[in-house]
Structure 1
Amino acid sequence: MYSRAGLRDWSVLLRQLNCLSSITQIPNFVDRYIACLYPSRRSGTVAGNGMDIKQLRYFVAIVEGGSFSAAAKQLRIAQPALSLQIRKIEDDLGIKLLLRGPQGVTTTEAGETLLHSARKILSDLSQTEDELRSMGQEPSGIVSIGLPGTISSILAVPLIARIRRKYPKIKLIIAEAMSGFVLEWLEHRRIDLAVLYSDNPAPGYSSKALLREELVMLIPPEAAPDCPTVEEAIEDMPLILPSSAHGLRMMLEQMLAKRTIRVEPTIEVDSYANIKRLVSSGYGCSILPFHAIAQDVARGQLASLKFAAPRLWRSAHLVHQSAIPLKIAAQAVHDEIPLVIDDLLADNSWAGAERL
């Protein structure tokens, strides 16, 4: 019987192929790992007739093609030979993987589990082979990075411009969402890198400090003379904040509790733009990073108040999974992000922020 935990670990072990000195070593590495999955493997077999990389490719092709005949045509092998290979897998595992019907083949629950793992295995193997071939060459390929909206609005365009200029063969994908969603994407390997407002999101992540940005109170301009302090503004006006699911809200509740300031918003809006409109229109006050309101303050549409010492800051960190070495292209992007941050701070494009 095969180890499902072992199949899930494929992605981790195949990343170790980066340390191999030659593509020709890949088959031996794969053989060694399959031997770990199936201790009874002997001379190219797994617990008897067993499963190998070729059979995984056959299985995925059948499911994606919808039938044995379509897969046989794509793979350019005889259909009986293809059927025999799948039957060998099922016999060895002692479980049915595929069901044939008038509309083609469908996967059983076990087949769906194998399909998910097989796709990851084949994808990682293909990616690793590409990376080994490209070693010593210009970094290339797709790199995805997740950014919270407030960071994306500042960082995305200059980062894309820098990567296109320095690494034209890298295709950079920017995914934007609230920090909680970005961390979930990173956990499920939908993205390679993330910038998060947390220095230690969870065990198993590598984190590099980028900067800290100041959080300030924003109030309507006409209210400024009557509210010289943050405490007076909160006491005199309704508080407008993101909902409790928002990363900033959770952070503010923790920070303000230490100052004995109760966070009881009258209005909850998960949109910085709408929060600013509400404050500007006189519906209340709010707390946001200064860079999010700097232009509004300069135009006289909002006024800002700083917290008394110690001032309120939140830090941004560059994060990736520590158990999985970054591919060459992702490492290149990772190394460029702090340099882009330096440029943005130097020309005051990230107002109210300091390098860490």
Structure 2
Amino acid sequence: MLQALPGGTVDLEQLDALVAVAERGSFKGASEAAAVPQSTLRSRIAALERDLGCALLVRRPDGVTPTEEGRRLCEGGRDLLARAEALRRAVVEPEAVSLGEITMTGAVGIPSLVAARAFARVHGRHPTLRIRARYQADPLHDLDVPTDLMAVIGPLPEDGPFRTITLERFSIGLFASPRYLDARGRPETVEALAGHDLLGWTLPGQDPGRWPLCDGGEVAVDPWFTSNDSQQLHALAAEGWGIALLPDFRGPLAEDRALEPVLAGVVGGASAARVLIHAVTADSARTRAMLGLLRGLMGGEESAAQAPP
């Protein structure tokens, strides 16, 4: 137990639960990411609030946000939890002093700034770990290529020797620059998209001429440019070249987005960024070291704000 406030203590499991829920923005998102039942997370945070004598989360129908006290506790708690995990590894995993090399195959289109900062943070915590990253259009196309981790977006393989961890769920929607919308008008119906220049983000196996609707249907479109590289599309949309269907990566390391939503709640859908770990290496110290940091880095207080609690 750690003395936190006069008359209050902080248990590491309770602190871990608070940080996980605050980062994911919902009990559901934290439960899925950590593989811990929602009821357990709720009871741990409730016990922590009782011990400290103050509310740590504001609970709403569409998610949760930390109170000022909760925010301060999370800020210090993240480093404390990381130090505790490092201490645990030093005791039970002496081989972790030299973690060796890890290979990662990523999907083209994962924001490079997000990935670069994540890798830099991993290196800062684990300087002996050597990371070998490569990117391709569909990492799932050839599962026989040796790799420790695969970072993928969208559908998962039906089978294969992998364990799956969801790093972040995100929405997909339409965005355009205010300059473009001021000049060409803001469409108020799906049919009005036919009078606009369109840009489309595509996933492997997806028809670029059909966009998802939030109600579960699809709409036929004719985009002048399609790509699996979300950053190219972001740049084109920001320069005023049309309305773009984009993944809305809203994590704490994501690039700033100077774009305006279009037909929010009408056109769009949801997907997820996931890591697939080869079963043979899933329990190695080097794999766990990288996964532990990626979970926190790819999440963020805003990334799951729209998810139910």
- TM-score band by shorter chain is 0.5 to 0.7
Identical aligned pairs, as a percentage?
A: 15
Distance in structure 1 (CA, Å) of the matches to 2:308 and 2:118? 17
Partner in structure 2 of residue 332 of structure 1: 289
Count matched residues: 210
For residues 152 and 146 of structure 1, the distance between their equivalents in structure 2, rounded to whole angstroms, comes to 14
Equivalent residues of 2:212, 2:268 under 8 A apart? no
Letter in 2 for 1:208: I
Provide the alpha-carbon RMSD of the alignment: 3.9
Corresponding position of 1:320: 277
SS of the residue corresponding to residue 265 of structure 1 reads coil
Rg larger in 1 or in 2?
1
Counterpart pick for 2:151 among 159, 183, 195: 195
Q: Deviations over 1:142-194 (max 9, x none)?
A: 0011223443524423332333233222111222333x1x2246x12432101
2:225 is the alignment partner of 1:264: no
Deviations 1:30-69 (A, max 9, x none): xxxxxxxxxxxxxxxxxxxxxxxxxxxxxxxxxxxxxxxx
Report the CA distance shift for 1:160/1:272 in structure 2 as closer, same or farther (over 3 A): closer
Higher strand share: 2
Contact 2:211 2:267 in 1 (8 A): no
Greater relative contact order (Cα < 8 A, sep 6+):
2
Change (3 A) 1:172 1:215: same
Partner SS for 2:256: helix
Gaps in structure 1 of 5+ consecutive residues: 1-133
Contact 2:163 2:282 in 1 (8 A): no
Instruction: Quote the Cα distance in structure 2 between the aligned partners of 1:328 and 1:194.
Output: 17
**Is the 8 Å Cα contact of residues 215 and 312 (structure 1) preserved in structure 2?**
yes
Cα distance in 2 for partners of 1:197, 1:239 equals: 22
- State how far apart, in whole Å, the 2-side matches of 1:171 and 1:251 are: 37
Post-superposition offset of 1:214: 1.9
Secondary structure (helix, strand or coil) at the match of 2:174 reads strand
Residues 230 and 303 of structure 1: is their aligned pair in 2 closer, same or farther, counting only changes over 3 Å?
farther
* 1:202-250 C-alpha deviation (Å, 9 max, x unpaired): 302321122111222122424435224362552221322256xx43955
Aligned-residue offset at 1:200? 2.8
CA distance in 2, matches of 1:353, 1:158: 25
Distance change >3 Å, CA 170–CA 288, structure 1 → 2: same
Quickly say closer, same or farther: Cα 1:208–1:149, change in 2 above 3 A. Answer: same
Q: Is the 8 A contact 1:242 1:248 kept in 2?
A: no
**1:159 to 2:115 alignment:** no
User: 1:248-273 deviations in whole A, cap 9, x for unaligned?
Assistant: 95599473494241133233345444
* Counterpart selection for 1:288 from 234, 246, 262: 246
CA separation in 2, counterparts of 1:251 and 1:326?
Answer: 39
Give the whole-Å Cα distance in 1 for the aligned partners of 2:114 and 2:103.
14
> How do 1:200-349 and structure 2 match up within 5 A?
200-204=156-160, 205-224=162-181, 226-229=185-188, 231-242=190-201, 246-247=203-204, 249-250=206-207, 253=210, 255-256=212-213, 258-269=216-227, 271-280=229-238, 282-291=240-249, 295-297=256-258, 302-308=259-265, 312-322=269-279, 325-342=282-299, 345-346=300-301
Contact 1:192 1:326 survives alignment (8 Å): no
The CA distance in 2 between the partners of 1:146 and 1:221, in whole Å, is 36
Structure with the higher helix share, 1 or 2: 1
Normalising by structure 2, what TM-score? 0.54
Q: Which amino acid aligns with 2:245?
A: I
